[in-house]
Structure 1
Amino acid sequence: MSRHPIPPGRPRATTRARAGAALVAAIVGLALAGCTPAPASEPDPSATPTRSGSSTGGPTSTATPEPTLVPDGTAADNLPLFAAITASVWASEDRNGGRAYIDALVVAGFDKAAMQVTRDRSTVGNQAESIQFSVKWGEECLIGQVGPATGDPVTVVVPVLVEGTCLVGETRPIDW
């Protein structure tokens, strides 16, 4: 392989550098291509829109139906309902009380005996910076976290801990 002299002050462009630049350009091009709007598609004539108006007619809606409990489903199947309940309580005046989350989950059909909740007050009586609550679902856990330190509510599905519980540490008795 012969080497050509490079003028002083000009960096050498290696084959590897040129290939890397081409790869970056290709990735950027693909990413930008994904930003273009897709062409409008024809509506599916077999689709039946849900009606949000009266029985005499009214606007149709393609809104997502309210999440519901899926008793035979997985924890992931029930995460939408768990998240909706968490968001609903977080938006209420009871947002800082762990009991409010447990009570709302019970009303929705989750098993109270499978739940855990952390304390919503510190040992000196201050409001907790964060509250966690959970529902054990088979070998998985639906976990929610809310509080001033959390920001927006967080809901996730994680495996059950080795101890067979969902939350680490001492939790509040659910004795109501």
Structure 2
Amino acid sequence: MLLRPLRPRRVVALTLVAITGVVVLAGCTNASPTPSPAVSNSASAGSPSAAATPTPAPSYDANASTPEALAEFTAVVTKKLAGDPQPHGRDIVDALAAAGFDKKAMQLTPDDTTIGRNVDSIEFSVLWKNNDCLIGQVGSAGFSSESSPVLSTGKCLIGTTRTIDW
């Protein structure tokens, strides 16, 4: 079989195809990743990338506004999750209490089902200034937090909660 030399137009066409392929593939790489936020109101659990810019510590005190308190609530739980991605409810309550949140104002769902298996997620809350709730959920789908008005029952969570007596 004899090979025929390529015609100049084919050489140009093949060169253009090759250059286009290189450009397209180069666009698929991300040489400088954009840092992902550490937390948002619907953030997934997981640690931020090592290149992420640290989020400044939220200003927080007992007189903080609900958004400021929610930022602190979220930061405390995120920090806890960085060290223990599958904490028990008690671990979260203890972390929030250590940060200054009132343990008496907290609610927590059980860690186990009625037949003794681990639950898919745990919910926890802090009643804030008697009219707002700081609510968090940790589970296999990650972590999320939000604030919402207190329920007509004066509570933040619906359903069975456990006694926080430690």
The alignment's TM-score, normalised by the length of structure 1, stands at 0.60
Q: Equivalent of 2:81, from 75, 90, 106?
A: 90
Alignment partner, residue 141 of structure 1: 133
Separation (CA, whole Å) in 1 of partners of 2:91 and 2:163:
14
Q: Which runs of 5+ in 1 are unaligned?
A: 1-61
Alignment of 1:71-110 (within 5 A): 71-93=62-84, 95-110=86-101
**What do residues 49-73 of structure 1 show as CA deviations (whole Å, max 9, x unaligned)?**
xxxxxxxxxxxxx964322432112
**What do residues 9-31 of structure 1 show as CA deviations (whole Å, max 9, x unaligned)?**
xxxxxxxxxxxxxxxxxxxxxxx
Residues 101 and 119 (structure 1), Cα distance of their counterparts in 2 relative to 1, 3 Å cut: same
Q: Equivalent of 1:66, from 46, 54, 57?
A: 57
Alignment partner, residue 7 of structure 2: none
Alignment of 1:16-165 (within 5 A): 64-93=55-84, 95-138=86-129, 139-148=131-140, 151-165=141-155
The alignment's TM-score, normalised by the length of structure 2, stands at 0.63
- SS where residue 153 of structure 1 aligns? strand
Larger radius of gyration: 1
**Higher RCO (C-alpha 8 Å, min separation 6):** 2
Q: Which runs of 5+ in 2 are unaligned?
A: 1-52
Separation (CA, whole Å) in 2 of partners of 1:107 and 1:89:
11
Letter in 2 for 1:154: S
State whether residues 136 and 166 of structure 1, in contact with CA within 8 Å, keep that contact through their aligned partners in structure 2: yes
Separation (CA, whole Å) in 2 of partners of 1:105 and 1:170:
21
Alignment partner, residue 13 of structure 1: none
State whether residues 74 and 137 of structure 1, in contact with CA within 8 Å, keep that contact through their aligned partners in structure 2: no
Percentage of identical aligned residues: 44
Separation (CA, whole Å) in 1 of partners of 2:86 and 2:80:
6
- SS where residue 147 of structure 2 aligns? strand
RMSD: 1.7
Q: CA deviation at 1:120?
A: 0.8
Alignment partner, residue 45 of structure 2: none
Q: CA deviation at 1:78?
A: 0.9
